Structure 1
Amino acid sequence: MKSFKLKSVVTLCMAVMMVLLAACGNTANPPAADSGNKDAPAPTAAANKGPVKVVWWHSMSGELGKAIDKLVSDYNASQKNVVVEAVFQGTYDESLNKMKASMDSKSGPALIQVFEIGSRFMIDSKAITPMQKFIDQEKYDLSPLEENILNYYKIDGKLNAMPFNTSNPILYYNKDMFKAAGLDPEKPPATYEEVAKAAKALTKDGKTGAAFAIYGWFMEQFFANQGADLLNNGNGRSGLATESLVNSDAGVKTLAWWKQMVDDKTASNLGRKTDDTKKAFLAGQVAMTLDSTGSLRGIVDGAQGKFQVGTGFLPKPGDAKDGGVIVGGASLYILNNRSDEEQKAAWDFIKFLAEPKQQAYWHVNTGYFPITKKAYDEQTVKDNLVKYPQLKTAVDQLHSTKANTATQGAVMGVFPEARQLTEGAIEEVLNGKKQPKEALDAAAKEISGKLGTYNKTVK
């Protein structure tokens, strides 16, 4: 009888222990969050039995790639819930083509860096989760970021991508040659007319006053600096662009000015590569050139011991309307064919990149603008401005830009092709094959035709 009672007590205790253990097990391993719950909290390592992996495709090689690797390493070390893997995918075009090929599968990344002229395609592709969704969900404050940089990536007031590497073009000039020509080395020419006048004074002893690469980006910037749209429908922002305006007065005036200097032999035509004009400038063969702010450190360092480099705003006609420069470079997109956890993890990484400390590091080590205003308060940035005072020109030019559709920049799905057609027209004019209006009319017609074809695919 006692033996029976003892066995009953033991059995009862074991049953109670099993119930308690089961309850504890359920507490330690809650059900996975519903991936369809858009308001679910950011993923944690525990919930996913390990960190969430975010694959980031980018197009930064060399020293820029090393800077990216450092940012990724710092982020991965800063927390345990997400691991970012940065993968170089070649040029912007190559990376975008690889993304297109991966869209019907899940072999692509969660995060991708896309050049600014790919913006319209990325929106029309329906392959992205707009950045605005994450911003709205957590009421993320955009006010610390540079408004004139954000503006490019906004359509209808909504941000589709987060700016990452940002630049704009400035005038570079040889201060020593300015002095020798009797020009004020501290007063760079600001208008087309002043550039042409300075170029004449600087052209002597086998050296030429200026050389600008035949680069479509420069023509786009010249339009923005005159407050002129490159496309109809608000530069393609109030609706899909259907017509190129490259043959408008802004384009004709710019190309006529450029051609006149080449005809006068006060400006050299060195072709389409900015590397060629940069080399000529650093060799002291030309006194003025245009290049990206991203090239500033390399240009200043390359001229070290040879001559002093001055910088000025991008020139514009003396009677131009309010305008400014458009940001160049690239931004980051989150792809919507990845899980909610991956997308939220990518957003967390993007927020990390936007912080002042990371932006300061990126700016100092690459020459690209910080997208965060407070980055300029970082000591490393202050020290860098002392070393490269020419950077102040680029910052001032960005901040003085008037916000309008012209300076927001044009958006179209055939931008790479349009840029090549524009470069072809410039080349024909500078080589004396066509007059400015004739060449730009032909380019505008062809670009408009390509816009029509593209728009049909979107509809």
Structure 2
Amino acid sequence: MKKFGKSPFLWLLIVAMAILTACTNSDSNTNSESSTDGEKGATKEPAKTEEGKVSIEFWHAMSGTGQESIDAIVKGFNESQDKYEVKAEYQGTYEESLTKLRSVGGTKDAPAITQVFEVGTKYMIDSGYIEPMQSFIDKDNYDLSQLEENILNYYRVDGDLYSMPFNSSTPVMIYNKDAFEKAGLDPEKAPETFSEVMAAAEKLTKDDMKGFSMLTYGWFFEQLVATQGGLYVNENNGRTGDATEAVFNGPEGRNVFDFLDKMNKAGTFGNFGTNWDDIRAAFATEKVAMYMDSSAGVAGAIANAPFEVGVAYIPHADEVKRNGVVIGGASLWMSKGIAEEEQEAAWEFMKYLTTPEVQAKWHLDTGYFAINPKAYDEENVKAKWAEYPQFKVTVDQLQDTVPGYATQGALISVFPESRQQIVTALEELYQGKDPQEVLDKAVEGTNRAMEIANKTKK
């Protein structure tokens, strides 16, 4: 998750231009189906290796251990059969990769597979660049029931799966068990509601340690709204029609901002800004006792802390039941306009990725969820969970999530811009401004961005 959100205004411009380009592509495709000159909608012979294997490109945005794991998985696939060869290519951040895709999307030069962050889902569906996964699922009678339902739901629209989930994560609350014990709190029972978190934060705050913190980042706000059953935008979170209005300034959003505002004013909240490394370092150095992180950050928190680390579900408002979490991360998209054999190669690779053995490796290498829950029955995963039971908490929270429009997540093409509006609202909140006022301002900014995107699309 930490790769995105660096340039929201540039991203909004890219989205607007790309949607306009996609509309133009759609018109030209009608008249160019038999073309072989590389224009939009062109057909061609598949690229092949010297050995005669169909060769495809897989564009991704994973660096570090994620890239190392992808390279190993691709190597395993290439050695597992003699018909296809996948070439994994790092393309920079999610934004950088998608900008590159825009220049070749819908043509024979597009990569067969592109990894796109979850908030790019609406844009990709509207782009005209992609072939929905559902067409291959139906053709191959692929059994989707073997995959994690609460991960698939994000990438489904009107019952059809548009992309294959890949690196998936959710937020969790991570806490210092040693600090809990010293403060007279039960280290095996983390607070569950906003009021319980506030009460615990008051007891945990002393000397240089704050009780609770949350990264100044829109993703966490979205999650705290969704777990209350709240929507982010109208049209059932954009799932039953194009969203035209943000609604996150309603009671659920106000509950979140009041929760943070009260702790900030009480001096029990630690504001460590927008950088993931800074808030994680603050936890490891005991400057904060509880904080929100990605499930993919659990392993690092355990490894870096000189104390016992606990992992818990994210908190929810007192007056509501917990609904659960919205999936984050990214998924894999199949290109339209490439050779049919290249699409077949991409589909075979995606099926390979979903196998329990491969998903077990991906889960252990990176901390991301296994999209095939049978991976958790693999012996190497069982051994890891026995050593670190905190990992199981992240999976339990995902599987306990109640399906619905709130936890399915919002679909809007200008999500990065909206998240920046939330960042600004949180910063102003911590400076002492009225919670409702800053929320309303963020809604207005999101509405303007959606209006521009929707007009451009038309």
Query: Which SS does the other structure have where 2:131 is aligned?
Result: coil
| 2:436 paired with 1:437 | yes
2:446 aligned partner: 447
| 2:344 paired with 1:344 | yes
For structure 2, list consecutive stretches of 5 or more residues without a partner in the other structure: 1-33, 36-45
1:18-60 Cα offsets, whole Å, 9 max, x none, are xxxxxxxxxxxxxxxx99xxxxxxx9989x9711111000011
- AA at the equivalent of 1:316: H
- AA at the equivalent of 1:385: W
Write the distance in 1 (CA, Å) between the matches of 2:262 and 2:48: 64
Distance 1:104 1:154, change over 3 A: closer
**1:63 positional shift:** 1.1
User: Contact 1:164/1:330 (CA < 8 Å) preserved in 2?
Assistant: yes
User: Contact 2:174/2:310 (CA < 8 Å) preserved in 1?
Assistant: yes
| 2:394 paired with 1:375 | no
Distance 1:333 1:403, change over 3 A: same
Write the distance in 1 (CA, Å) between the matches of 2:114 and 2:47: 22
1:54-101 Cα offsets, whole Å, 9 max, x none, are 100001101110000000000000011100000000111111111112
User: Contact 2:325/2:407 (CA < 8 Å) preserved in 1?
Assistant: yes
1:248 aligned partner: 250
- AA at the equivalent of 1:369: F
Write the distance in 1 (CA, Å) between the matches of 2:98 and 2:208: 44
Distance 1:104 1:364, change over 3 A: closer
1:80 aligned partner: 82
Query: Which SS does the other structure have where 2:59 is aligned?
Result: strand
Write the distance in 2 (CA, Å) between the matches of 1:212 and 1:223: 14
2:293 aligned partner: 291
Q: Which moved more, 1:283-292 or 1:104-113?
A: 104-113
Write the distance in 1 (CA, Å) between the matches of 2:72 and 2:199: 46
Write the distance in 1 (CA, Å) between the matches of 2:421 and 2:108: 35
1:116 aligned partner: 118
**1:207 positional shift:** 1.4
2:191 aligned partner: 189
- AA at the equivalent of 1:75: F
**1:106 positional shift:** 3.6
Write the distance in 2 (CA, Å) between the matches of 1:106 and 1:220: 37
1:92 aligned partner: 94
1:138-188 Cα offsets, whole Å, 9 max, x none, are 110001100000000000010000000010010000000000000000000
1:432-454 Cα offsets, whole Å, 9 max, x none, are 1x211101111101111111111
- AA at the equivalent of 1:139: N
Alignment of 1:365-404 (within 5 A): 365-404=365-404
2:312 aligned partner: 312
- AA at the equivalent of 1:181: A
User: Contact 2:180/2:204 (CA < 8 Å) preserved in 1?
Assistant: yes
User: Contact 1:45/1:81 (CA < 8 Å) preserved in 2?
Assistant: no
Query: Which SS does the other structure have where 1:397 is aligned?
Result: helix
Query: Which SS does the other structure have where 2:413 is aligned?
Result: coil
User: Contact 1:178/1:185 (CA < 8 Å) preserved in 2?
Assistant: yes
Distance 1:114 1:227, change over 3 A: same
Query: Which SS does the other structure have where 1:311 is aligned?
Result: strand
Query: Which SS does the other structure have where 1:107 is aligned?
Result: coil
**1:322 positional shift:** 4.7
Query: Which SS does the other structure have where 2:145 is aligned?
Result: coil
Larger Rg: 1
Q: Which moved more, 1:321-330 or 1:159-168?
A: 321-330
**1:310 positional shift:** 0.5
1:416 aligned partner: 416
- AA at the equivalent of 2:400: S
Q: What's the TM-score, normalizing by structure 1?
A: 0.88
Write the distance in 1 (CA, Å) between the matches of 2:261 and 2:277: 21
1:219-239 Cα offsets, whole Å, 9 max, x none, are 110111001110100100100
1:176-209 Cα offsets, whole Å, 9 max, x none, are 0000000000000001000000000001122111
Write the distance in 2 (CA, Å) between the matches of 1:102 and 1:196: 50
Write the distance in 1 (CA, Å) between the matches of 2:89 and 2:47: 23
Write the distance in 2 (CA, Å) between the matches of 1:372 and 1:44: 31
Query: Which SS does the other structure have where 1:113 is aligned?
Result: strand
**1:413 positional shift:** 0.5
Write the distance in 1 (CA, Å) between the matches of 2:456 and 2:339: 27
1:63 aligned partner: 65
Alignment of 1:9-24 (within 5 A): none
1:354-399 Cα offsets, whole Å, 9 max, x none, are 0000000000111000000111111011011112210111011001
Query: Which SS does the other structure have where 1:143 is aligned?
Result: helix
1:11 aligned partner: none
Write the distance in 2 (CA, Å) between the matches of 1:217 and 1:113: 19
User: Contact 1:360/1:378 (CA < 8 Å) preserved in 2?
Assistant: yes
Query: Which SS does the other structure have where 1:164 is aligned?
Result: strand
User: Contact 2:194/2:316 (CA < 8 Å) preserved in 1?
Assistant: yes
- AA at the equivalent of 2:393: T
**1:319 positional shift:** 1.1
* Residues matched between the structures, number: 416
Query: Which SS does the other structure have where 2:326 is aligned?
Result: coil
1:171 aligned partner: 173
**1:104 positional shift:** 6.2
* Percent identity (aligned): 47
- AA at the equivalent of 1:447: T
Query: Which SS does the other structure have where 2:130 is aligned?
Result: coil
For structure 1, list consecutive stretches of 5 or more residues without a partner in the other structure: 1-33, 36-42
Write the distance in 2 (CA, Å) between the matches of 1:289 and 1:274: 11
Distance 1:216 1:44, change over 3 A: closer
User: Contact 1:209/1:266 (CA < 8 Å) preserved in 2?
Assistant: yes
- AA at the equivalent of 1:161: S
User: Contact 1:236/1:411 (CA < 8 Å) preserved in 2?
Assistant: yes
User: Contact 2:107/2:338 (CA < 8 Å) preserved in 1?
Assistant: no
Write the distance in 2 (CA, Å) between the matches of 1:430 and 1:380: 44
| 2:238 paired with 1:236 | yes
1:457 aligned partner: 456
**1:259 positional shift:** 1.2
User: Contact 1:45/1:80 (CA < 8 Å) preserved in 2?
Assistant: no
Q: Which moved more, 1:116-125 or 1:197-206?
A: 197-206
**1:247 positional shift:** 1.0
